[in-house]
Amino acid sequence: MADHVTVIESVKLDDANDAIILLDQTKLPNKKEFLQLKTVDDVWDAIYQLKVRGAPAIGIAAAYGIYIVTKNSTASDFEAFYQEFKKAKEKLASSRPTAVNLFWALDRMEARLMKEKEATISEIIRALKNEANLIKKEDQEVCEAIGRHALEVLEPGWGILTHCNAGTIATAKYGTALAPIYLGEEKGYDFKVFADETRPLLQGARLTAWELNEAGVDVTLICDNMASIVMSQKKIQAVLVGCDRVAANGDAANKIGTSGVAILAKHYGIPVYVCAPMSTIDLNTETGNDIEIELRPEEEIKTKWYSESMAPEQVKTYNPAFDVTDHTLITGIITEKGIVSPSYKENLAKLFD
Ligand SMILES: CSC[C@H]1O[C@H](OP(=O)(O)O)[C@H](O)[C@@H]1O
C-alpha cells in the first residue's frame, strides 16, 4: 500500500530499556521529538496531554504501557501479579474517557492474562508482550483495509474535507480517514484535501496539514469556520473523518466540530464517511447520548497553543473535546470489513457475526 507516506511509528516498544518510545505529538509540526516512557504515570500523562493521541494509537500505548510496567514484576504467584496488573490498568483507564480503544486494548490485555492464568509469571509476561504487539500489527492491517474500502466510494480528483487528525500518527500505520488519501496518492487519485485546523488543539493544522504536506498530497488548511464556504463553492465532494467511539446505533463520537461539519455536509448534499476500525465500534453503548464526552482544561482554549493569551484570563470557557454526529447524518461507516450504512442499527452488530 501507500509508498507515498513516511509512516512515523508514533508508538513503539523499547523492550531492552523497559520503555515505550513515543512521538510527542504536542511538539509537531515544529519539532519531531521522541519520549522514552517507563512508568504508568508517564504513560497516563502522555495520553492525557495528547502527546500520544488518536483512538488506535492511545490503545496501543496503553497496551505497551501495561506490559512495561508489569514485565519486571516480582510477584510470586498469579494473584499477586494480577493485583499489580489491575492497578496499572485502572490508572491507564482513567486518562481519557471517550476513545473506546483505550478500554478495548486494556480489556484485551486482561483477557490474554486470564487465558494464561495457569502459566508461569515469565510466560504470562511474554504473552502480554505478544498481545500488545498483536494489537499494533492488527491496527496496521486495519488501516490498509479501511483505505481500500474507502476508495470504493471516492472518485479521482475529488475534494475531500477532513477534521482533526486521523492519520498515520493517530494509528499504527496509514491512519483511518487519511488511509484512502495515501492509497489514492499511490493510485493517482489526485485528491484535493481540505484540512480543518480543528481548534482548540489544532490537530488539523499541526498534524494533518503537516503529514499530508510531507507526503506530497495536495492539502489546503482552512479555519474551522470556512467549512461551509468550501462546500458551497463545490470544492468538496466528500467528508472523511475518524472516530473515537461509534455507538451501537451508528452515532459517532469524534473531535469537537465534526457534528457541525456533518450538518453542513447534509445541507450541501455532500456524503460523510466515518472511518472506523472495528475496535472503535462499541456495541455496549446504545446511542451517542451514552458516550462520555471528555471535558478538557480551559487554557487549551485561551492560551495553550499560542505564545500570547487568546482571550481574557477571567472569561469562562467550555472545552468539550468531542461531539457526537447523529447516525442520520452519516452516509456510511467504513470499517476494515467493508462499508455499512448506520441507518439500520443491526448493520453494525452484523459486522461482529
Ligand atoms: C484515528 S482516531 C483519530 C481521532 O482521535 C482524535 O481525537 P484526539 O486528537 O483528541 O485523540 C480525533 O477525534 C480523531 O478523529
Q: What is the pLDDT of residues 64-83, one digit of tens each?
A: 999 999 999 999 999 999 99
Q: Which atom of ligand 1 is nearest to the CA of 170?
A: 1
C-alpha 319 to ligand 1 mean position (Å): 15
Q: Do you know the residue count of the chain?
A: 353
CA distances (Å), origin 324, targets 274, 292, 348: 12, 10, 17
What is the spatial distance between Cα 81 and Cα 95, in angstroms, rounded to a whole number?
Answer: 22
* Whole-number pLDDT of residue 312: 61
Q: 96 a known binding residue?
A: yes
- Our answer on whether the CB atom of 198 is closer than 6 Å to any ligand 1 atom is no
Q: 203 a known binding residue?
A: yes
- Our answer on whether the CB atom of 172 is closer than 6 Å to any ligand 1 atom is no
**Catalytic positions, written as ranges:** 244
pLDDT tens track, the chain, 353 positions: 556 567 788 999 999 999 999 999 999 998 999 999 999 999 999 999 999 999 999 999 999 999 999 999 999 999 999 999 999 999 999 999 999 999 999 999 999 999 999 999 999 999 999 999 999 999 999 999 999 999 999 999 999 999 999 999 999 989 999 999 999 998 999 999 999 999 999 999 999 999 999 888 999 999 999 999 999 999 999 999 999 999 999 999 999 999 999 999 999 999 999 999 999 999 999 999 999 999 999 889 887 666 666 666 666 666 778 888 999 999 999 999 999 998 777 889 889 98
* Whole-number pLDDT of residue 162: 97
Angle among Cα 258, 260, 261 to the nearest 5 degrees reads 65
CA 66, 144, 8, 209 dihedral sign is negative
- Our answer on whether the CB atom of 323 is closer than 6 Å to any ligand 1 atom is no
CATH class assigned to 11-143? mainly alpha
Q: Which atom of ligand 1 is nearest to the CA of 177?
A: 1
C-alpha 164 to ligand 1 mean position (Å): 7
ipTM value, please give it. Answer: 0.98
**Torsion of the alpha carbons at 54, 199, 51 and 93, rounded to the nearest 10:** -60
C-alpha 125 to ligand 1 mean position (Å): 30
Q: Which atom of ligand 1 is nearest to the CA of 277?
A: 1
What is the spatial distance between Cα 336 and Cα 144, in angstroms, rounded to a whole number?
Answer: 8
DSSP state of 154: -
What is the spatial distance between Cα 351 and Cα 139, in angstroms, rounded to a whole number?
Answer: 17
User: Three-class SS of residue 21?
Assistant: strand
Out of 174, 244, 294, mutate this one to test ligand 1's pocket (max ligand atoms within 8 Å of CB): namely 244
Architecture of domain 153-351: 3-Layer(aba) Sandwich (3.40)
- Our answer on whether the CB atom of 54 is closer than 6 Å to any ligand 1 atom is yes
User: Three-class SS of residue 200?
Assistant: coil
Residue-range domain boundaries for the chain: 11-143, 153-351
C-alpha 256 to ligand 1 mean position (Å): 10
C-beta separation of 263 from 275 below 8 A: no
C-alpha 189 to ligand 1 mean position (Å): 25
Element (H, E) at 43: helix 40-48
- Our answer on whether the CB atom of 244 is closer than 6 Å to any ligand 1 atom is yes
DSSP state of 128: H
Q: 19 a known binding residue?
A: no
C-beta separation of 107 from 139 below 8 A: no
Q: What is the pLDDT of residues 220-260, one digit of tens each?
A: 999 999 999 999 999 999 999 999 999 999 999 999 999 99
Cell reading at 52: 500520544
Cell reading at 117: 492464568
